[in-house]
């Protein structure tokens, strides 16, 4: 990074389908575009390499040392960036399910941290029944990742956003940025996406970097989009519109510290 007090972050919004090769090509193209903007922390959306039917998802799952992560590691190292591989279908040996796994890669291409989505999306919304737990195995570990000496990132995925206790644990562990790769549905996204992102930012006085899927996937289900970056005061610094694209914003960590000093709510917690 250019300096410890400022980070240029980018959210990469995708319309992933069942075509793995096309999805990966799109992701890499968006990374290249964000790098041209000078982004240092790049966040891809949830299940960016495959978003469609469960049967195909199992076939698309890979171990963390597979071809997909190797390609992303090489990309991160080539550009010297922090690249959050939104989430991938991580293969579990001996299990028909996969983990929904987010991986943070460092400027040397090494895996800094691995987070496996804890909260499974088992809901009935928008006229469709979602049962993520049928195909995904939940993780159990709260994960924060050290980007440099003074900066920790708290990692989450999509439906986790509705569980503030997770984020409070991450901020207690020192997180100053939350990453939220997602595939928020159209039905829930239009009413809840921005509200929840801004709430997590305000109550924890952190930056939130949230990359969402957009448009229809291979099953014909629609994601909301509106990927955004939110500051510790709850202000939306940047947002992607309709379709695939990127949004970039500077995260000023001195501003974060000023917010926490002026309104020390984190120090006032008694329960």
For 32-67, write each residue's pLDDT tens digit: 999 999 999 999 999 999 998 877 787 889 999 999
| Structural domain includes residue 270 | no
Domain residue limits at 118 = 6-262
**pLDDT tens sequence across 162-190:** 999 999 999 999 999 999 999 999 999 99
| Structural domain includes residue 56 | yes
Contact 134, 159 (CB under 8 A): no
50: which 2 tokens? 């495959």
- Of 224, 163, 233, the closest CA to residue 193 belongs to 224
Distance CA 118, CA 101 (A): 10
**pLDDT tens sequence across 78-136:** 999 999 999 999 999 988 899 999 999 999 999 999 999 999 999 999 999 999 999 99
pLDDT attached to residue 149: 73
Cα separations (Å) of 169 from 52, 141, 143?
32, 11, 9
203: which 2 tokens? 């109550």
Contact 187, 193 (CB under 8 A): no
Cα separations (Å) of 266 from 28, 188, 229, 261?
38, 29, 21, 10
Give every CB contact of residue 192 below 8 A, 6+ residues apart in sequence.
162, 184
Q: What is residue 132's three-state secondary structure? A: helix
Q: Which positions are catalytic? A: 46, 117, 158
Per the prediction, the chain carries an average pLDDT of: 95
| Structural domain includes residue 141 | yes
| Structural domain includes residue 217 | yes
Distance CA 2, CA 202 (A): 26
| Residue 245 burial by Cβ neighbours in a 10 Å radius (0-12, 13-18, 19+) | middle
| Structural domain includes residue 126 | yes
- Of 237, 215, 228, 231, the closest CA to residue 43 belongs to 228
When divided into structural domains, the chain yields a total of 1
Instruction: Look up the CATH number of the domain holding residue 42.
Output: 3.60.110.10
| Structural domain includes residue 176 | yes
| Structural domain includes residue 269 | no
């Amino acid at each position: 990074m250019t300096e410890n007090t400022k980070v240029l972050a980018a959210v990469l919004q995708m319309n992933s389908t069942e075509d793995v090769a096309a999805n990966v090509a799109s992701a890499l193209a968006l990374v290249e575009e964000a790098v041209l903007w000078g982004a240092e922390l790049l966040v891809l959306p949830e299940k960016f390499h495959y978003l469609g039917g469960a049967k195909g998802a199992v076939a698309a799952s890979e171990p963390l040392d597979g071809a997909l992560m190797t390609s992303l590691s090489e990309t991160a190292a080539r550009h010297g960036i922090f690249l959050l591989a939104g989430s991938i279908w991580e293969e579990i040996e001996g299990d028909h399910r996969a983990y929904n796994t987010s991986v943070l890669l460092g400027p040397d291409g090494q895996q800094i941290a691995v987070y496996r989505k804890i909260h499974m999306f088992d809901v009935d919304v928008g006229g469709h029944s979602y049962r993520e737990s049928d195909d995904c195995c939940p993780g159990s570990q709260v994960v924060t990742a050290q980007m440099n000496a003074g900066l920790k990132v708290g990692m989450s995925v999509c439906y986790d956003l509705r569980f503030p206790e997770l984020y409070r644990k991450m901020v207690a562990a020192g997180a100053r940025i939350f990453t939220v790769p997602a595939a928020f549905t159209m039905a829930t996204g239009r009413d809840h996406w921005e509200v929840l992102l801004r709430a997590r930012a305000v109550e924890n006085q952190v930056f939130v970097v949230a990359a969402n899927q957009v448009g229809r996937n291979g099953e014909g289900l629609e994601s909301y989009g509106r990927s955004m970056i939110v500051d510790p005061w709850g202000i939306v610094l940047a947002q992607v519109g309709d379709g695939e694209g990127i949004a970039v914003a500077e995260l000023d960590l001195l501003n974060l510290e000023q917010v926490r000093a002026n309104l020390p709510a984190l120090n006032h917690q008694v329960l």
